């Protein structure tokens, strides 16, 4: 439970009375205070402290696996692999961050910021993805098939105590850039049967010689215009290193992936323990500060297991 990470909030809770409670049976000499203001102050202090514990990078950055290099421009910042695992597991409640190489944030956003978005960077070594079917893909038909497949998947989710997840439609229809070997699309997703707002999942895939660089962002649908505004910049951030570029494919020694462009969009291939795979299972939302609840810092789990006392266990 994240409350355990913030002992001052826990210690303060017995003394944080509402104004009405503070004055019950009190004399005229009793000192009263604004409990909400104190909680907000504590919460803000922790947010500032945690944000300050992370070191962001900008400019040219080599990914730890040696496959690609990032060129992070003005307006963006990058968290390395180690710090990303802290964010995804310790702060955001994911059971694992395996395969995650870093995160790209807009400059003004942070790990505890309500709303906003961040792209999680991964690499899926699935082989060389042929792109000769890109112009032939019927994405409307693909969307229809995805919705049909969801019926069985949601039955299984309900049996395991999780809320269903529905693909509402394309928030941005799949687009493939053959010159730069970049595929991107976005889905609008509803977690649960009575969600008050839907979730945006923006996907970017950069094709390489031996696999695919995976960038996934999750935000609220109200942030679609903001994410789309930044996507052109994000597409140019990641570049494969020499020896891993798409045009360097050698049919004599390299493996060809089982999936084509259409298969990537269908979601048949995701990086191991991919962040969206976890988000799709658990419906994790972006972090908010709940000062009034007295928990300090907590994360909403819209798809969290019913009646559970903490983050859900991984699904098989």
pLDDT value of position 43: 60
Do 171 and 82 have their domain in common? yes
pLDDT value of position 195: 67
pLDDT value of position 40: 57
Do 214 and 148 have their domain in common? yes
Do 186 and 167 have their domain in common? yes
Q: Is residue 311 part of a domain?
A: no
Q: Is residue 97 part of a domain?
A: yes
Locate 21 and state its tokens.
Answer: 């409670």
> What is the tally of structural domains in the chain?
2
What CA–CA distance (Å, rounded) separates 156 from 166? 13
Do 127 and 257 have their domain in common? yes
pLDDT, mean of each 10-residue run, the chain (316 residues): 34 34 42 48 70 92 95 94 88 77 90 80 94 87 89 83 85 94 92 80 94 89 88 90 97 93 73 42 34 27 36 30
Q: Is residue 237 part of a domain?
A: yes
User: Which residue range(s) make up the domain with 22?
Assistant: 2-51+290-298
Do 143 and 215 have their domain in common? yes
Helix (H) or strand (E) holding 282: helix 275-282
Do 83 and 121 have their domain in common? yes
Do 42 and 189 have their domain in common? no
């Amino acid at each position: 439970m994240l409350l355990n990470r913030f002992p001052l909030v826990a210690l303060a809770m017995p003394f944080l009375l509402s104004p009405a409670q503070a004055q019950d049976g009190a004399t005229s000499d009793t000192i009263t205070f604004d409990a909400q203001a104190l909680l907000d102050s504590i919460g803000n202090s922790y947010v500032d402290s945690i944000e300050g514990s992370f070191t962001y990078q900008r400019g040219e950055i080599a990914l730890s696996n040696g496959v690609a290099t990032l060129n992070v421009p003005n307006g963006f910042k990058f968290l390395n692999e180690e710090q990303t695992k802290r964010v995804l597991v310790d702060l955001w409640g994911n059971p694992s961050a395996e395969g995650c190489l870093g995160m790209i944030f807009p400059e003004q956003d942070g790990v505890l910021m309500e709303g906003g978005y961040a792209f999680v960077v991964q690499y899926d070594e699935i082989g060389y993805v042929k792109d000769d079917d890109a112009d032939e893909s019927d994405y409307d038909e693909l969307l229809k098939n995805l919705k049909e497949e969801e019926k069985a998947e949601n039955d299984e989710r309900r049996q395991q105590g999780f809320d269903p997840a529905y693909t509402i439609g394309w928030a941005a229809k799949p687009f493939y850039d053959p010159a730069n070997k970049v595929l991107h699309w976005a889905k609008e997703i509803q977690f649960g049967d009575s969600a008050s707002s839907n979730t945006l999942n923006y996907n970017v895939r950069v094709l390489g010689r031996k696999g695919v660089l995976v960038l996934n962002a999750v935000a609220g649908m109200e942030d679609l215009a903001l994410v789309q505004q930044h996507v052109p910049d994000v597409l140019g951030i990641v570049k494969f290193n020499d020896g891993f570029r798409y045009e360097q494919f050698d049919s004599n020694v390299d493996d060809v992936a089982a999936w084509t462009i259409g298969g990537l969009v269908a979601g048949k291939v995701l990086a191991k323990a991919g962040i969206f795979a976890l988000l799709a299972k658990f419906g994790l939302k972006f972090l908010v500060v709940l000062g009034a609840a007295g928990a300090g810092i907590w994360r909403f789990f819209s798809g969290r297991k019913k009646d559970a006392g903490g983050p859900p266990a991984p699904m098989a």
